[in-house]
Chains A and B, each alone.
Chain A
Amino acid sequence: MSWACPAPVQSWLFPLPVRVCAAGARPPVLGRVPEGRGRCRPCLGQGSEAKAGRTDLIFLIRFRHCCLLRNQRCILAYLYDRLLRIRALRWEYGSVLPNTIQFHMSAEEVEWFSRYKKSLATYMRSVGGEEGLDLTQDIKPPKSLYIEVRCLRDYGEFEIDDGTTVLLKKNSQHFLPRWKCEQLIRQGVLEHILS
């Protein structure tokens, strides 16, 4: 499963004061857009007019208010989905995201990501005894120490634990330690062959 690069954040959303807080494993709690503080300037005027007693505009205001609420819901859903994808990126790519992805993230998202990383790292350290336990490896239960992989595209040189390098060329097959290959399998460079 690989998520596509998140698209750049729609910039017209920025004026909306949506508050996001760092979550860890909990879904982020999003702030509510306070009533009346929308972009709809005419609304303000009508709101005050309605208070002044012109009751025939009430329906218009109510309608616009519902639209605003709906837009707010959609925007929040969009931002939340982005956050879920960014969270999945930590498990897939590791703690350093490639530049192409970071380019598309907004500043708040980058900050959220770093806080999520820290939170995950603290948790992993606390779980596994002295050294901690790296939960991002072996996502599927491993069946053997070494696996056979096939290279799907030209990747270049790849270094293994004992210092030796392997040249990954398209259609070459290799028998390598499982933990080294997992990253590349997730990225789609290598394919695990089951015989």
Chain B
Amino acid sequence: MFISDCRREFYDVIVSQRVLLLVASDVDALCACKILQALFQCDHVQYTLVPASGWQELETAFLEHKDQFKYFVLINCGANVDLLEILQPEEDTFFFVCDSHRPINVVNVYNDTQIKLLVKQDDDLGVPAYDDIFRDDEDEEEDSENESEGSEPSEKRRRFEEDIIERTMKRRQRREWEARRREILFDYEQYEYHGTSSAMVMFDLAWIMSKDLNDMLWWAIVGLTDQWIQDKITQMKYVTDIGILQRHVSRHNHRNEDEENSLSIDCMRIAFEYDLRLALYQHWSLYESLCNTSYTSASLKLWSVQGQKRLHEFLADMGLPLKQVKQKFNSMDMSLKENLREMIEESANKFGMKDLRVQTFSIHFGFKNKFSASDIVYATASLMENIEKEGPETTNFIKALDSLSRGNLDKLHQGLALAKKQLRAIQQTVASCICTNLVISQGPFLYCSLMEGTPDVKLFSKPVSLCLLSKYLLKSFVCSTKNKRCKLLPLIMAAPMDVEQGTVIMVGIPPETESSDKKNFFGRAFEKAADSTNSRTLHNHFDMSIIELKTEDRSKFLDALISLLS
């Protein structure tokens, strides 16, 4: 059931209760979690926070804690499946689901008692009407009614015939209704996409209660930027949401302009920026950033020698000496940095990169600390999927959660270093895949598989890194190929996950087009293919388009997919 008044139906209900927070493993969920934690700490709501990286962990956590808690808040998990069936809760347990995954499962929408959805109503949800999918089962019983006793045999026979006609008509109606229902449900559940960021929903709640702070606003910004970086929302939606957040930013951060009442330099400020789209460029050198951002790397085709030459031409066009550009950004000459953004934009237009600047926000506190929202997203995401340290996965989650607080700058810097490694690894892998033609067209989709010996392949056994790699690969492939048909195909990427157990992680992403609506049909396709071939697959991830399967079943799975989708 959708909640219309977040404050009365959600917050006021749990403020006097003990709550269990189940949080998914992505940056948007972490940001939403931080905002909610801040609100809970303000109001002394006793809560317990348990990270969940997949359905199995969610179920385990639920089973462990169901005796102690009656109220569960799920962040970025649980909306797209039938929760009651999976978790089998008691009658008096309540679930509040704040999830950006769509489509929302119809059972969750129409359950009036136990499941409450914290979803903004202006997301175009397109939920089918109740009567189209649910129907009382009383009609079935009429078919098995006994015949009434009749006095005369002819009357009996007539009534018998009438009964039969009635029954066949009802059966036919029922079959038609069921066929229509299957069609409606198929259309509704076919494509996966994402709605408003959970962090923004939580910030909205804080704002309604007038408890919003600059910190919470920053987390909402980071949550939205994470959705944009992972290509989960359309450009339109991103720009609209940025507009919404900008109003809040100007409300919280207008004091700078007044010279008399200016804030101390240590206070945190957020500023709107029309910044460059280069990843981590302020913490790296401009050259490295240009090489390792997918947009520039794909447009300039930096995997080829020609591409490198074009990069040098690009830099020369702007009048930036190579020596300057290759050193740390902070140490570049001030004269070069002054009009950098405008200069780069001008030159970029000449080289075919029209969208090099993007609307975003940056945060400032103290003299040394200035970060852009995308920096934080990259840092936190790489901390969460850090493969360097051994230990349970939850340690990485906790570290990433900590790095979002401003007091933990050392963790943030560690995250930035890891993010640089990750981006470099991604670009090198993309370059090698394109140069060795590893991306093959299988008909209805493109397919690329990473071999075990590839450098940094362990990095790509994690879902978010693999998704990022696939998106960058698809972008680069679209720029590199001359085949017009291939440019419109979606991509399936496979990478070895666990060598000992012989599993492979597979990710499907929608095609890369200018006005793509980011709707992904691979979730259902994977399910159907797995069923039809009896492959041993594990759909553990909250995104349905990411699965794990056994290496031996890979080829028959792919064959089934090809026949399904062509």
Report A's interface with B, CB cutoff 8 A.
145-146, 148, 150, 160, 164-167, 169-177, 194-195
Q: Are B64 and A145 in contact (CB under 8 A)?
A: no
Q: Could you tell me the distance in whole angstroms from the C-beta of B422 to the nearest C-beta in chain A?
A: 23
Given known pairs A164-B18, A166-B68, A167-B68, the reply for A145 and B49 (CB within 8 Å) is no
Nearest first, the 5 closest Cβ-Cβ pairs linking A and B are A171-B394, A173-B49, A174-B48, A175-B47, A146-B44
Q: Are B392 and A170 in contact (CB under 8 A)?
A: yes
Q: Are B395 and A171 in contact (CB under 8 A)?
A: yes
Given known pairs A166-B68, A194-B407, A195-B405, the reply for A175 and B45 (CB within 8 Å) is yes
User: B397 at the A/B interface (Cβ < 8 Å)?
Assistant: yes
Taking CB atoms and an 8 Å cut-off, the chain B residues in 37-78 that contact chain A are 37-38, 40-41, 44-51, 64-65, 67-68
> With A and B bound together, what is the CA distance between A150 and B47 in angstroms?
12
User: B398 at the A/B interface (Cβ < 8 Å)?
Assistant: yes
Q: How large is the interface on B (under 10, 10 to 19, 20 to 34, 35 or more residues)?
A: 20 to 34
- Beyond A148-B41, A166-B48, 8 additional contacts (C-beta under 8 Å) are A148-B37, A164-B68, A172-B48, A173-B398, A175-B40, A176-B46, A195-B405, A195-B407
Q: Are A172 and B49 in contact (CB under 8 A)?
A: yes
- For B229-240 the 0/1 string (1 means CB < 8 A from A) is 000000000000
Given known pairs A150-B398, A171-B397, the reply for A145 and B68 (CB within 8 Å) is no
Q: Are A171 and B392 in contact (CB under 8 A)?
A: yes
Could you list 25 A-B pairs, sorted by A, with CB under 8 Å?
A: A146-B44, A146-B46, A160-B46, A164-B18, A165-B67, A166-B68, A167-B64, A167-B65, A169-B64, A171-B51, A171-B392, A171-B394, A171-B395, A171-B397, A172-B394, A173-B48, A173-B49, A175-B41, A175-B44, A175-B45, A175-B47, A175-B48, A176-B46, A195-B38, A195-B41
Given known pairs A146-B44, A165-B68, the reply for A172 and B392 (CB within 8 Å) is no
Q: Are B41 and A170 in contact (CB under 8 A)?
A: no
The residue in B41, B46, B65 that gathers the most chain A C-beta atoms within 10 A of its C-beta is: B46
Q: Are A170 and B68 in contact (CB under 8 A)?
A: no
- For B68-93 the 0/1 string (1 means CB < 8 A from A) is 10000000000000000000000000
In the complex formed, the residue of A with least CB distance to B49 is: A173
Taking CB atoms and an 8 Å cut-off, the chain B residues in 147-196 that contact chain A are none
- Of the candidates B49, B67, B397, the one whose C-beta lies within 8 Å of that of A174 is B49
Q: Are A174 and B64 in contact (CB under 8 A)?
A: no
In the complex formed, the residue of B with least CB distance to A168 is: B48
> With A and B bound together, what is the CA distance between A63 and B171 in angstroms?
115
In the complex formed, the residue of A with least CB distance to B399 is: A171
Q: Could you tell me the distance in whole angstroms from the C-beta of B118 to the nearest C-beta in chain A?
A: 20
Which residues from chain A contact B41 at a C-beta distance below 8 Å?
A: 146, 148, 175, 195
Q: Could you tell me the distance in whole angstroms from the C-beta of B520 to the nearest C-beta in chain A?
A: 31
